[in-house]
Every structure is written in C-alpha cells, then in structure tokens.
Structure 1
Amino acid sequence: MPDEVVSPPDHLPCALTAQDLGGRWQLAGSVSEAWRFHRWHAELAQPVGAFARTAWIDACVPGSVHDDLLRAGLIRDPNFGLASLDAEWVSARQWVYRRTFRIELAPAARLHLCFEGVDYSAEVYLNGECLGTLAGTHTPARFNVSWLDRASEHLLVVVLQEPPAEAGQLGRTSRTKTLKPRAGYWWDFGARLVHVGLWRGVSLQADAGAAVLDVNPRVVLSDDLQRARVEVDLEHDGDLALPVTAELFHPDGRRERVTGSASSLAFSLEGPDLWWPAALGAQPLYMVRAWVTGSTPVKRRFGVRQVALVHNQASHQRGARPYTLAINHQPLYVRGFNMVPSDLIPGRAGVAERERTLVRYALAAHANLLRYNGVGPLASQAVLDACDECGLLVWQEMPLTSSGTDNVPPRSPAFLENLERDLPPLVRALRHHPSVVLLSAGNELTDAQRRPVTDADPTVARMAALIRLHDGTRPFLPSSPSGPEYDLSMPIAQERPHDLHDVHGPWHYRGVQDSYLPYTHNRALAHSEFGCQAASRESTLRRYLTDGPVWPMDDRNPQVVHHGEWWLMAHRIEEVFGPVEDLGHYVRLTQAAQADVLRHALGWNRARRGECSLALVWQLNEPWPNAHNTSVIDYDLKPKFAYYRCREANAPVALHLGLPAPVGDGSLCACPQVLADTAGSGRLTLSLYSVTGMTLLTLSRPVSWPAPGQPVSLPLSDTPGLLRAQLHGEDGTLLARTEQWIARAGAAPFAPIARLTQTTLSVEPSLTGVLIRNVGTYVAPWISVEAPAGVGEHLSDNGFALLPGEELGLRVSLDPPGGPANLTVQAINTAPVTLAWGPV
C-alpha cells in the first residue's frame, strides 16, 4: 500500500478530518504582476471595460502548467518536431491558480490549509488575504485557517513566481541558487522545458488541537538480524501533552498498538521478517500508522533490513572508500542503470504507470539497483513503492549536479538558506523506503581542478550533516564519481590504474577500437556511469520528428540536432559500416553498435568482480523523444537492442568472450569466461561462422566457475565472422549464450555485414511467442522484433542473428495482453515479415 495520508481507522471518531482540494482548478498566465493589477488574487469576476477579461483555462492539481496549456490547445506538444522551442515562453510568466471551496469537515479546534510542494515558489491568497509563501519542490507548508467561516464559499489563489534562473547543462554549479532539479533547463537528453506547476497535493486538515505531520519508523536491527526495535519518530505540532497512538501492521496482517508521549513510541520485533533485494529473498513490508485523537492518521510502509558499504580486498589495499554494498551482511555485485526523469512534463497523464513500467523493465534485465541522478527530481513515490515491493535498490542523489563550466558546490548565503529549508523534506520523503540504500550530495561535483569532491567540501559536509540529522541510517557518498579520478580514460587506465576508484564515462561511440579498449583496461572499483548512444526506433523517429524529413540523421537535419545534438553518430557508423542511406538500416546499425559496446563494458566490469563492486549503465530511459540518445529504452518505452544485451550480461549466468575489441590484425585473442552469481560446472562451446554459415572454428571443453577464462586464438579473414559461445549445464540445459561479430581491422571493417546478400525469414506463431527461421543461404544479422506504437513488448531476446537454416523460438508477451497487434520481424538483409499477433 502506498504512503499517503489515510482516513481514520474504524476505532477512531468517524468525523472526516481531511478534505482534498485537488482536482479541477483554473489557471491564467501573468507577465510579471499583472495579476495584482487585475486583482485576480481577490476577485472572481471582472467587469466589462477597456481591459480585456481574463481567459481562464481548466487546470489539474496536482499537475503542471505545460500540461494544462497542452490540454487547452495553447501550446503544441513539446515532444514533436521543433515545438519545444515555441513553449520556452511558459517559464517567463507568473501563473495564477484559483479555485473556490466550501469547508466539508466537521467543526474542529483547528483547521490548516496544507501544501505538499510547489515548483518552485508561490504566494498563497485566501479570500484576498495573503497567507504566506511556498517554496521548494518537495517542501510542505501549512497555514492556520481556523478562522474560516464554515457557511461561506472561499476563494483560494496560488500565484506561482517565475522559476529561478538556473543554468542548463553548460553553466556553473557554483552559481546554483536552489535545489530545483535542473534537467528541464536543457540537458543532453531533453529540451529546455523549465517545469512550473502546483505539482503536489493541496488539502484542508482538521484536528482537535494537535496533529501528527510525519512518521519515521526508524529500525534498529541487531547485528545477528534476530531482533529489531522500531522507534516511531514523529513530527507533530499543537498540544504536545495529548497522547499519540501508533499501530504496527506486520506483513502477516497482525497488529500491535501503543499509546504514549510522542518521544517514547516503539515496538520490539523478535525474529523480524527481513527485507531483501530481488533474487536474494522476499520483500516483506511492515506499516506504521500514528495519530492524535481528532486528527488525520499518517502511515508509512517500511522494511527491516541492514545496509552498509564495506571493503573488498582491492578497495582496502588501495586505501579507497568501501564500494561494496552489503544488505543484511550479504555483499552484492551491484548492476543496474542510471535513471533520469520519465517525462519533462511530470503532470502528464500516465506518468506514474510509465515509471512503474520502467521499474519492471529494469528488474527483468537483472538489475538490482537504480541510480537516480542529481540532475533530476527525487525518484517518485510511485517508483519507490514499486521498488520496495519488488526488491530493486535505489541510490538517490540530492538534486544538485555538474554544469560543465564548473562543478563546484555552491556556497552562497542564498543557496545555503534554501538548502536548510529544502533538504530535510527531501530526506524525509526517502527515509522509510527500504529500497533506498545509498544517498549522495549530488552528481559529478568537483573542486575547481575538476577533482571529485570529498566530505571536506563545506557544502557537502553540511548536506551530509542534514542527512544524518533526518535519517542517518544509510551510507553516504559526497558525489559520483567519488574519485580520486573523475573519468575512465585510457591514459589513466594504463599509467595509474590504482587511482580508478569510482569513475564515470566514456559515453560516446568512437568506433571499433576506442569504444572498447577503455573497458578492457579498466581497473575501477566502482563504475557508476558509462554509456553509448544509438538512434531511437524508426517508428519512434517517424512519430515525433514531424517538422520535416527524418533523413538524414546528421547535423544537416535541424530536427535531428534539436532532438539530441550531443549524440550524433552517423560519421562513426559510416567509419565502421560504410555509407548508409536508409533510415531502417541506420537505426539497426546504431542500435547494434550501442548494444555491443554496453555488453562489452558490463562483461569486463563483471569479470573483475573481486575488484569492481558496481557497474551502472547510463541510462535506462529518456524523458523526451530523442533522435539519438544513450538510453537503452526510448521515450515510447521501446527497448533498443542494448536493453537485451544488458540483460544478457547481467543475467545470473552469463558468458563473457573476453575480447579486447571486435577487430584485430590477422587473429584475435578471446578469453571466454563464465560470469555467474553462484558456483557451477558445465560445458562451454565456442564456434566461429562465416556469413554463409560455414563453421570456421569450433571447440568444446568442460568448465567450472568461478574461474578465469582460457585464451583462444581466432583466425580473421577478409570477411567478418560470427563468434558464438554457448554454456550447457551438466544435465545438458542451455544456461547462457552470446554472440559477437568480429573482423580484420581496417577501413569500414563491418561494411560486408551491412551489405550482405539478401536472405529470407519465416515467422510462425507458437504457444509462447513466435518461431523465427532463416530459410535463406546467408546469415541474418540483428533481427528485430517490433510491436506497434502503444503496445509494450516483453521479448526473450532481440537484435540476434540466425545462421542459414537456423531457427529460434522467441517468448513474447505484449501490453495490453490479449489484444491483437502486428509484430514486424526484420534483419539487416531481409524484407520485413508481419505476423498478426493474438491469443493462440
């Protein structure tokens, strides 16, 4: 059950103590303080005269101004073409929300008007009287309105100020003034769309003289994990002499209740139900609820678990920080994704479901942790609830981030004043969620010499102190990367590998050598951000690039530049594959390149599991439809090939080919290795095939793991070859497989693959999905299986090759399930095949 303010339980007085003031409001824009001149804050009606009467539009609260304008037809959807440029004016206005209401609550000693947060600041007027100000995206405010006449209708007006003038991606962090997330000020994964809105709940709260405002179930777990004390920390106001009642709901439905002073409420648990990450155990959730008689109860779900960062041998020897995450004393190899906002307009309908879908995709890709980067807002309650339920861990950074020109944490009095007000509510929103296991001050913060910040930085130190004060139960890192080197670069990897502790990068595709070799030489203890770009699905591109032709996909095309100007890669693709003149081919080749690089990176990091503790791909998702981006799932929630290769590399049992790069001179040395979460044994088969399916090399040998790989010399001919590895268990069960195109180094080494002779695919439905056959005489590389727009895909694989005469049964499930849809199946050298999909 999600965290929320709840109705009183049956044993409390049945009088209603909370009235939701969300829903339908009205909205109008104001240049500076025109609203004050027209008295919008105090009067509903405007007389006919020389000044035009205001054209109010319907607004939704909680919501976003952009979303309201979009529904009213006053702006084009910023996702399409160049339309976001025509919406930048929105943040240059003040915005006035208004509604009327009558009090529906029974008489009480006190009545408060409560706001859960505004983006970013506002003045509040009630019946023309200024109650005060709001500020902070997650910072609540309460106004005592006990004097309100219960027989009258009241006018509530909230005037949003222009948002603060923060920098986009290229600016100065040292000049940051607020903790407003900066993703919307322009970042490489989105347009400039500075969010404004009354984006959190509004309500009336009645009480009998005191109220519980927040509940924090602080769990103290014994070292042997056999006993726990749940201390119910309360934030409350009013008559502190009134007794507080707290109830504890066990995962099995049992209840306990205690009543006493606010400072003495606690529960003892013998043999508590422990909360575990996914794949290590169950995720039982407790819930605590607290109230003062006559007030609205507040409840919080929580889990019982212990979390710490501990040393592995390498971090200890290097004198580095500990980077191995341990849950309930169980060390983890952390694998997962970096996350950015799910939409630049958080008020859009369906955003919460988008977020839950992304959580499901991450879990299906064997991720155990998501890092919510400091460029965006906190992970939403929908995300955190979903992660609590499925066991996906969360690393949350505070909304403070690098800026390119400088990344130095701000120290101005204005920022520090905002920090004191706005950081505690951020921490309070996170602290009861068992999935949240790591906190940081922000993303890519450094000193003036671009060295990652340490705890000695005064701003970081103050943030750490505030986090300890309001939580103190989780590990804290000053930033990511946490240094001492910032980047993974070849010179550092080769000359000072022991200085690679927690590093970022690289991110760009740079061909068949430079895209791979940094990972091959990497010795980092934690690799918290690295990526590679690719184009979005062709259907996604054609849906959103509507202000002109989609092709060419380079800087000659204004739309392509607008939708991802940092990630153009046509020149690199042509260096590897030769000239490309077809959009469909181009999309598949970019996605094949991204998939190959990310699998390579994940494999080399995981192969160093005793040294490396963490590997996180940048990034799972994107908040805006990009032409090119480092996301592995595009804006329409369509997984790219890279998603499947990440899933392959992170699987409980995976194969790592141990190639330095996919090209070599004359021969190439592979060192195939089994990467598994638990020990085992089986048989490894390695095969090399020509484009016509001829076997060029094969070997099979028994293997046990964990163990290093054994080198194998692979001959390279003038035509690229398909290298495959398969692992079977002792009973013959296929445990893992992987494949890689390899070639002789030279100009456009994989051009022959991009221009292969045509072959033919046959596609048939099966009980669990589809059966795909290559019935031609040439290999079919990078086969894609795609469902239409609006239909979610869950496939057992995508972006694979089939040799001549080979077939593969693919498991398929679609969202929504059971409905008809056309699946399209195509390879680089085949015509598309369409299969009408429906219940078999």
Structure 2
Amino acid sequence: MTTMNAMEWNLGGDGWELKGFWPWVPLKGTSMEIGNELMGVTDWMPATVPGGVHHDLYRAGLLANPYRDLNSLHAEWVENRWWVYRKRFQAPVHAGVTMQLICRGLDYEAMVYWNGVLLGEHKGMYEAAAFDVTDHYRAEEDVELLVVFKQAPDEMGQIGRTSETFTQKSRFNYKWDFSTRLVNVGIWDDIVLAAKGAYSLGELSVTTDVRDGAGLIRVEAAIERNGNRGIGSAVGTEETRSETPRDAAGSGAKQSDTEAGSIVLIVKLYDPDGRLAQTKRIAPNDAGLAACTLEVESPRLWYPSGYGDQPLYRVELIMADDAGEYDSRSLRTGIRRLEYIQNEESPVDALPYTFVVNGRKIYVKGANLTPLDHLYGNVAGERYDWMVRLAQAGNLNLLRIWGGGIIEKKALYDLCDELGILVWQEFIQSSSGIDNEPSKRPEFLPLLACNAAAALKDRRNHVSLTVWSGGNELMSAPNVPSTFADENLAMLRELVRLHDSGRLFLPTSASGPVQYITEERGVSHDVHGHWKYMGNPDHYRIYGQADHLFHSEFGVDGLSGVKSIRKFIGEAHRKPVPMKDSLVWRHHGEWWDTFDRDTSLFGPMTALAQFADCSQWIQAEGLRYILDANRRRKFNNSGSIIWQLNEPWPNVTCTNLVDYYMEPKMAYYWVREAFQSRRASLDYARLDWSAGETISLPVYAATDGESADCLVCAEVVDSAGAILHGQAFQGCTSADKTLLLGSLSFQAPETADGLFYVRLTLAVNGEEASGPSAPYIFSTRPDPIFAPALAIAGGKLEAEALGEWVPETGNDDIADDSVLTREYVVKNTGDRVLLHVYPTERTDLYWTMASDAYFSLFPGEERVVRVTCRKRTGELFADASSDDAHALDAQERPHIDFHYFNAAAAANTYP
C-alpha cells in the first residue's frame, strides 16, 4: 500500500527570529506623523521554538539571568511589550488536498500572518490554533511566517479574586509562593505544517478495560473529508461495519453527506514485544465515525508503579481505500480496568477516593507537580524524563498536575504511561485568597470550555490518566469547597461526561464538607494542609489524630542544599538569616522561612550549610510522620499527595522534594522510604522526653497489595552505637491494611549527649525487606532539643568506589553514556554516629540520584550505595549558574563525594 497525501513538517527548531515592540506598533509599522519606520524596542534576534521570549532575550544579552538574586524584578517589562516571531522557509512540495498550519502552543494572545496575510487571531494556551492555508500555499515558494503576540493579560497571581479570572493563562507566572512574577510569552509548544489528503483522521479515543479475563481496547476515530468525496460503506469479507460509538453527539466528529466509496480504517494491534497481534478493517458509519473493540486473550495488564508492570500495546490506525493510504496515527496504551469506590467506613455522601486497578485497591503515594520551569516552553524532554524517573524512584505512583500551572506537554504523559505514574489532571483554575469562587465571567466560561475540551480529547488516550479535577482550592465560601452546584463546575462535569466518561471527575481539590485539615472528627473528606512543620508536639497531635479520607495537598518547608543556593544567590547573601532581614532571601521563598523554627530546635547557626542541614532534617522529619500517620489508616485514608515534588524557579527554601536544579533534598529520600511497598513505621507523640520517663511507641507494618508474615526488629541506640533496648514484633499483614504489631516500651535513656535513636528493620516472609530505617531521633535535653546534634564528633566517613562507571542498560531511548551508574561502599570507621549520609556530584555536569541517601551510619557500620547520574541537558541559564563547578575529570565523568550532617559547616567547606 502506498502512502498518499498525509504529511507533517515541524517548523520548530532553527531559523526563527524575534523582535520586541511597544503595543500596537507591529500593526502600524510607520509613524502617522512623520512616516518613519517604527523600529521596535529590540532588533531581530535568534529565537527558540518551542521556547519563550525571556530566554531568547537572555541569550541575546538583553536580559540578566532572571533567576539570580533580585534580577527577575528587572524583567517584568517583558510581559508589557508586543513580540513578533518570524520564520522564513521554502514551502515544501506535497500532494495534499488541503494544507493546515497548526500552532499548538501560542501563549497567550496572537495574530498569525502568512506572507503578510492575516490568517486569524487566537487567544488561549491549550487549544491548538489551526489555520487553513490551502488558498495561500504555493509549493517551493518562499514563505514569511509571522506570529505577533500582544502583551500578556493582567491576570491574577496567588492573591486576588478567583471570581474575576478571565483567561486560561497559567497563573503561577503572576507570582506564587514558590515563584516570582515572570509572565511567559511566546510559542511554548510545536508549530507544524500539515498536508492532508482527501480524507484524514480527526478526533481519536482509545480506552481499555478488562472483562471476564479478556483485555478490551476500544477505538473510536472520526474520519474527516477534506475534498469532495463522501464517506461511505466498505465492502469485502474482512471488513466490518463500524460499531456505534459510545456518544456520537459528544465525539466532535464532523457530520457529512455520504456517497458510495471504499474508505476503511485499518486498526493494527501490536503486543508489548512489538509483534503484530491482530488487524481489523472498519468501515465508517454515515456520520464519519469508525469504532471497534479489540479483544485480547490473556492480556498483559498495566499497573501503577509498585503494584506490577507497565506493558504497553501499540495501536496503529491507517485510513485507506483501494488506491492507497491517506492518513495514519499510532499510539501506545496499557490494558487495565479502572474503578473508583468509597473508602472504608466512608460517610455515605463522600466521593469515591479509592482507586481500583485490575481489581486491586491502590494506596496513593503521590506528589503535586508544578511546571518544571517558569519558562515552560524551554523545558527539554530530558528534564521531563529525569523528573518522572525521580518520581518513580521515589516510590511515587501518582502526580497531581495542579490547576495553577499548565496542562503539560505530551511528553510528560507518555513518560507516566511508561513508568506507571497515575495522573490527576486539573483544569486551569485555582484559588486566589481574597475570594476562591470559580469564575463565571462571560468571556471566561467559553475559554474554559474550549481549553477543557481540547485537553480531554487529547489526554484521555493516556492509560496513566486517572482523575480529572475542576481546579485547585475552589471554594464557594471560606473553608467550604465548591461542588457541582456551581455553574462553572457543572459545565466541566458535562464536558467530562461527553469526552471521557469512564474517568472520575472531582469538582475541585480539596473536596468535601471542609477544605482544610482539622482536629474535628467526622467532617473531613479530601482535605488540604498544613504546609509547615506545626511544632513539637503539635505536629504529631494534629496529624496523628486526623481522620480525613484523602490528603491531596500538604507539605513541610526546608532549605535547598548549598550547592544549589550558590547558583542563584550572590556571595554577599549566603548566610543564615530570617526572611525579614534579607530582600534577596525573601524574593526566593518568602512564605517558607524556617529560621525561627530551626534555631528553636538546634540553637544558633552561623554557617549556611549548617542551616541547610538542619532545615532539611525537620522538613524530612515532618513529612515522614504525616505519611506514616495517613498510611496507618489505609483504606480509611486512601492516599497522600505531597505539596510538592518540584519547583519552577530556584528558591532558598520551599516545600519541594527536588529543587530547581534537580537536586533531591533529604525529604525526597525520607519520603521514598516512607512510601516503600513494604514498610515498618513508628508512632510517637513528640520528639523530647525526660530521662527515665516510660515510653511506649506503637510499631506498624504495611505490605501494599500483598499479605505477608512480617518480623520487625526495633533497637534503641545512642550516638556511640550502643544498643540500649531491643524488641521484636511479628504479625501477618493483609494487602489492604496497615497492621499494629505492638508497642516498643522502654525508659528514656540518659545518654552522654542527650540523644537516642530508634531503628526498625523489617523482614517479610523470612527475607530482609530493607536495612535499618532512617532513625527516629529523640532528645532528653531541654530546648533547643537537637543542639547536641551540632556537636556530635568522632564519626569518620570513608567511601570507596566498587568498579567503574557503567552505562545504564534496558532503555533503548537513552544514548550510550548519557546515564551512568556506579556503586560505592560507605563506612563509618569512627566512634560516633554519622547522621544523614548522602552523595553529591562535584563536577555539576550531571543530575544525580542514589539508591540510598540521608541514612545514618553508626560506628563500624557500612552500606553499599548505587549512584545514578545523567548528563545535565537543556537547563536554562546554566552558563551563569555554575560558579561552584569543578571539572575534575578530563572525560567529564561524574565525581561523587559523600557528606553527612553538619560536616561541611564544621570543616568550613561552604559559607
């Protein structure tokens, strides 16, 4: 069969130019008064597509690195100018019936010109602007394509009135607690030129299910007629008449007159090993819709990460007739059954917050994802890849794509399909503080509907997509989440019913009678909060006694590491200070000041590295307790979604697990341990005890998705590694419950430094499931209770590489040497504990993660750590952010050092 007509050319990449103007000047061109050319506020400069204006200005030397110190304040003029993108190219030869210019990422209000002819205007980020250029197209003709952007709309930032929202522009750009005001303008996704034949594939829906042991893949495709030929029935013994689509009215397919013809849709299914499994030939119905269900015997089922594998089947669609092929499309999907049920002991009026995949209840271990960068158009695929890898390696099984950010690029959803990360996708709406009521402005609702429909029709084809939500923290009254009674949310619910009826739609996050976590019992469904460590002992009382059904947003703040801080904070500002004493620090994380918190627990600190170590400790401690407390109530509580996995610009301090430069913080590794499928945990009411006081600490075991015999060995030790008390606990867990094994009972010891530690080791079915956990650290000293930790001395860290760096195997999409692994044996040859041992990569040429980090080594102990590195690629402003880098290897191999708590400050390694 020959290919006829259908073809696409990506116009991104090289050859684009950019120029800035005062508003309206590009439409006038010359002065009315004197006739002179109006030259603009910049000259033409090279541009990146996809990309954004800010980074192009930076590369041209017209903008200082906006991520450093207070520089972003001097970049706010950019959003108030008009910007013109230009590309000149030769129109390719084609055999299509029609030609379309498809702009998938215009941000935000644009006019598009083809050789001086206005094709049309477009407003919105998420719905593609498609222009028919057939009448203007001449093959091999020189084309000048212009995209003119008006100044960015003046939308609400984090503080404002949600009811006054009037755009579908990403709102975090306008200032949020984890970002600055840096309003993106530009072409943030692909622009393609598409040749279409007499027929082309339109909207597509591929969904899967499992019934009676068989896998079902449901395919629905709209056939569009671009010429004068009709769409008629097909003939032939191998061809079948199209099944009636689930909801033809909601499919968006074009209705058309029909005439006799032979157009068919050929559906090919390839198994996860790439073998052709079956083929069907489907004739469209009279409405131009082709639908069929492929039945797969003994299917290889898709599961979320931690519950099974993620085999993907490839579905290939070919539209053809006797003369040849007109159009084709290919995608990958997983076969799985997705259901939603109420939590155990759920109130009858609660929404179903328990997700069930292939009959197995999934305990959600999630994190909220913000855009990866303020300048989201410049995010390279490698950054998406590494971030989702970090999520999976961190034992996460869900990402909530937050409504104050963006509907992400396709690359992210593809990666979530491949790695088993469920997706909670919100439409672009968020709270604003002064009021949080969903907007009903007449210019807003049609925009929201168009963007929501576009997102639904495209993202529904991803097996990882699990939940839709109307937006973030929408409230009809203070602390009262909005419901479907709201006109805005009722409209979105109907769109979800029309375009993706098999998935759950939640009105907003949080949802239920109350918005925020509370100690009042019986009123919490899905809740948010808190976002700070709530103090000792309040933190443990609040989270230990809560009874919410789901926890879709909460966090604890902590500093970035010094390695990262040095990249965006000038030397004069690199010292521990409260936010009120530093404009620069305030600009990079004002809400997340931990200075008073950390000095109250550790005492005065003079070195930045010391402050970072202490702040990250309390962030990790606070998050670990929340996660364990929620999981102890599995499936009365069905999951936790941490705020947040990442940050879109560099903060001195924030609630993120991974900083802007992709450096995992201590909290990342303690969260990863808390989210292990097999987990032993400790409950406790506070961090400080009186020496001699009788202590009784409940010990729990969880084995997600399985029932197992568990043995937990608990040890109480001092800083010298002496075992002061030990107990063993046994029990048989169930797949869907966390088991209370008993209580660790002892008297608070009088130790030399006032600190003592509890370590748990878990064995499952007779085999060790994990080494000793990161210890639970307690004190018998008065405030500041953890001051003795800053004085621990006597540990001696030794690290030795085991072999050479070797390329990662098993992923054909990664080039040789782009991902390297190496093992190290790390030892404590001293006589005191080494707290929070972790690796760092010194050349700053690689992203890094470890099989284990921020663990403690007591005297005589050792641990083998596997370090994985990937070359940093596609980072913005990298040339201005590496004053700490050391090129230690002529071949640019990673150089790994191991550090531990307070070591850098004690040795004055960092300021």
TM above 0.5: yes
Secondary structure of the residue that 1:387 maps to in structure 2?
helix
- Matched with 2:360 is 330
2:367 aligned partner, one-letter code:
F
Distance 1:369 1:393 in 2: 4
The one-letter code of the counterpart of 2:687 is P
2:528 matched to 1:504? yes
Please give the secondary structure, in 2, of the residue aligned with 1:612. Answer: coil
Indicate if the aligned counterparts of 1:136 and 1:179 stay in contact, CA closer than 8 A: yes
AA aligned opposite 1:642: A
Which of 50, 56, 63 is the matching residue for 2:51? 63
SS at match of 2:591: coil
CA contact 1:760–1:830 (8 Å) conserved in 2: no
Summarize the Cα distance change of 1:165–1:735 in structure 2 as closer, same or farther, 3 Å threshold: same
Q: In the TM superposition, what is the alpha-carbon distance from 1:172 to its structure 2 partner?
A: 1.0
Q: Distance in 1 between matches of 2:677 and 2:115?
A: 62
Between 225-234 and 421-430, report the one with greater CA deviation.
225-234
Report the counterpart of residue 25 of structure 1 in structure 2. 16
1:247 corresponds to which residue?
267
Post-superposition offset of 1:217: 2.2
Q: What secondary structure is seen at the aligned counterpart in 1 of 2:134?
A: coil
- Structure-to-structure mapping, 1:104-183, within 5 angstroms: 104-148=92-136, 149-150=138-139, 152-183=141-172
Given that residues 780 and 830 in structure 1 are in contact (C-alpha distance below 8 angstroms), is that contact kept between their aligned partners in structure 2?
Answer: no
The correspondence of residues 570-649 of structure 1 with structure 2, limited to 5 A, is: 570-649=595-674
- Deviation, structure 1 residue 830: 4.0
- Report the Cα distance in structure 1 between the residues aligned to 2:764 and 2:497, rounded to whole angstroms: 48
What is the rounded CA distance, in whole Å, between the counterparts of 2:191 and 2:130 in structure 1? 10
> Letter of the aligned partner of 2:502 in structure 1?
T
* CA spacing shift, 1:228–1:830, aligned 2, 3 Å: closer
The yes-or-no answer on 1:733 pairing with 2:768 is yes
Moved more, 85-94 or 824-833: 824-833
Match of 2:246 in 1: none
CA distance in structure 1 between the aligned counterparts of 2:65 and 2:371, rounded to whole angstroms: 17
2:132 & 2:732 partners in 1: Cα distance? 69
- CA shift in 2, pair 1:800/1:54, >3 Å: closer
In the aligned structure 1, how far is the partner of 2:559 from the partner of 2:696? 31
For 1:238, give the aligned amino acid: N
1:498-533 per-position Cα deviation (integer Å, ceiling 9, x unaligned): 111111111112333233322111211111111111
Tell me, in whole angstroms, the C-alpha distance in 2 between the residues paired with 1:729 and 1:294: 56
Name the CA shift for 1:811/1:421 in 2 (closer, same or farther; >3 Å): closer
8 A Cα contact 2:223 2:290, kept in partner: no
Question: Does residue 537 of structure 1 match 2:561?
Answer: yes
Question: Are the counterparts in 1 of residues 210 and 216 from structure 2 also a CA contact under 8 Å?
Answer: yes
Q: Counterpart amino acid of 1:80?
A: R
Contact 1:217 1:288 in 2 (8 A): no
State the shift of 1:549 in Å.
2.2
Match of 1:7 in 2: none
- Code of the residue aligned with 2:853 in structure 1: it is N
Equivalent of residue 668 in structure 1, options 673, 678, 695: 695
Report the 3-state secondary structure (helix = DSSP H, G, I; strand = E; otherwise coil) of the residue aligned with 2:439: coil
When residues 50 and 65 of structure 1 are mapped into structure 2, their CA distance, relative to the original with a 3 A threshold, is closer
Instruction: Give the secondary-structure state (helix, strand or coil) at the position aligned to 1:308.
Output: strand
1:133-170 Cα offsets, whole Å, 9 max, x none, are 11221211222222223363232211111222111111
> Which of 432, 442, 447 is 1:418 aligned to?
447
Q: Which of 489, 496, 519 lines up with 1:460 in the alignment? A: 489
Q: Give the AA of the match of 1:260.
A: A
The answer as to whether partners of 1:82 and 1:547 remain within 8 angstroms in 2 is no
Name the aligned partner's letter for residue 221 of structure 2: D
- Report deviation, 1:92: 0.7
- Supply the distance in 1 between the matched residues of 2:688 and 2:41 (Cα, whole angstroms): 70
Q: Which residue of 2 aligns with 1:263?
A: 289
Task: Give the drift of 1:793.
Answer: 2.0
SS at match of 1:191: coil
> Does the 8 Å contact 1:592/1:799 carry over to 2?
no
Q: Distance in 1 between matches of 2:905 and 2:790?
A: 16
C-alpha distance in 1 between matches for 2:449 and 2:711: 59
**Other-structure match for 1:6:** none
Closer, same or farther in 2 for the Cα pair 1:270/1:810, shift >3 Å?
A: closer
Is 1:825 the counterpart of 2:898 in the alignment? yes
Aligned mates of 1:777, 1:355 — CA distance in 2: 43
Whether the 8 Å CA contact 2:197–2:226 is kept in 1: the answer is: no
> Is the Cα–Cα contact under 8 Å of residues 103 and 192 in structure 2 kept in the other structure?
yes
Letter of the 1:11 counterpart = T
Q: Return closer, same or farther for 1:686/1:106 CA change in 2, 3 Å cut-off.
A: closer
The match for 1:837 is: none
**Amino acid across the alignment from 2:537:** Q
- Relative to structure 1, is the Cα distance of residues 683 and 142 closer, same or farther in structure 2, using a 3 angstrom cutoff? closer
Q: Which residue of 2 aligns with 1:766?
A: 802
CA distance in structure 2 between the aligned counterparts of 1:745 and 1:708, rounded to whole angstroms: 30
Q: Distance in 2 between matches of 1:138 and 1:486?
A: 28
Secondary structure (helix, strand or coil) at the match of 2:9 reads strand
Q: Which moved more, 1:324-333 or 1:534-543?
A: 324-333
Shift of 1:573: 0.2
Deviation for aligned residue 1:806: 2.5
Larger mean CA deviation between 781-790 and 427-436 belongs to 781-790
Structure 2 CA distance for partners of 1:303 and 1:811, relative to 1, 3 Å = closer
1:470 is displaced (CA, Å) by: 1.9
Partners of 1:699 and 1:684 lie apart in 2 by: 8
Distance in 1 of aligned mates of 2:133 and 2:359: 50
TM-score, normalised by the number of residues in structure 1: 0.92
- In 2, the alpha carbon distance for the partners of 1:341 and 1:667 equals 48
Contact kept? 1:205, 1:296, Cα under 8 Å? no
8 Å contact from structure 2 (residues 52, 187) kept in 1? yes
The structure-2 alpha-carbon separation of the partners of 1:296 and 1:833, relative to structure 1 and needing over 3 Å to count, comes to farther
Structure 1 regions of 5+ residues with no counterpart? Answer: 1-9, 41-45, 835-840
> In structure 1, how many angstroms separate the alpha carbons of the residues matched to 2:172 and 2:530?
21
Q: Residues 374, 234 of structure 1: CA spacing in aligned structure 2 closer, same or farther, 3 A cutoff? A: same
Tell whether 2:43 aligns with 1:35. no
Structure 1 residues 347 and 270: CA distance shift in structure 2, 3 A: closer
Quote the residue 2:234 is aligned against. Answer: none
1:784–1:827 CA contact under 8 A, matched in 2: yes
* Partner SS, residue 190 of structure 1: coil
What's the CA shift for 1:397? 0.7
Q: Secondary structure at the match of 2:448?
A: helix
1:711-762: CA deviations, max 9, x gaps?
2334235612111111234545353532110123742111111222343222
- State the Cα RMSD in Å: 2.6
Rounded Cα–Cα distance in structure 2 between residues aligned with 1:222 and 1:50: 64
The residue matched to 1:249 in structure 2 has which SS? Answer: strand
Note the 1:541-556 alignment, pairs <5 A.
541-546=565-570, 548-555=572-579, 556=581
Q: Which amino acid aligns with 2:441?
A: S
- Inter-CA distance 524–49: structure 2 relative to 1 (3 Å threshold): closer
Which residue, out of 6, 12, 21, partners 2:3? 12
In structure 2, C-alpha distance between the alignment counterparts of 1:732 and 1:426, rounded to whole Å: 46
Distance 1:626 1:49 in 2: 43
Residue 264 of structure 1: how far off its partner (Å): 3.3
CA contact (8 A) 1:213 1:236 kept: yes
* Cross-structure match for 1:195: 184
Quickly say closer, same or farther: Cα 1:459–1:691, change in 2 above 3 A: same
**Deviating more after overlay: 744-753 vs 636-645:** 744-753
CA distance in 2, matches of 1:129, 1:624: 39
The Cα shift of 1:48 comes to 8.5
Which residue matches 1:75?
Answer: 63
Q: How many residues align?
A: 811
What is the identity, as a one-letter code, of the residue corresponding to 2:10?
D
- Shift of residue 481, structure 1, vs aligned partner: 0.7
- Deviations 1:654-681 (CA, angstroms, capped at 9, x unpaired): 1111112323453433111112122222
Aligned-pair identity (%): 30
Q: Is the 8 A contact 1:533 1:629 kept in 2?
A: yes
- Give the corresponding residue for 1:388: 417
Name the aligned partner's letter for residue 784 of structure 1: Y
SS at 1:395 equivalent: strand
Contact 2:7 2:196 in 1 (8 A): yes
Structure 1's 92 and 776: CA in aligned 2 closer, same or farther, altered over 3 A? Answer: same
Structure 2 residue identity aligned to 1:611: N
Q: 1:309 aligns with which of 316, 321, 340?
A: 340
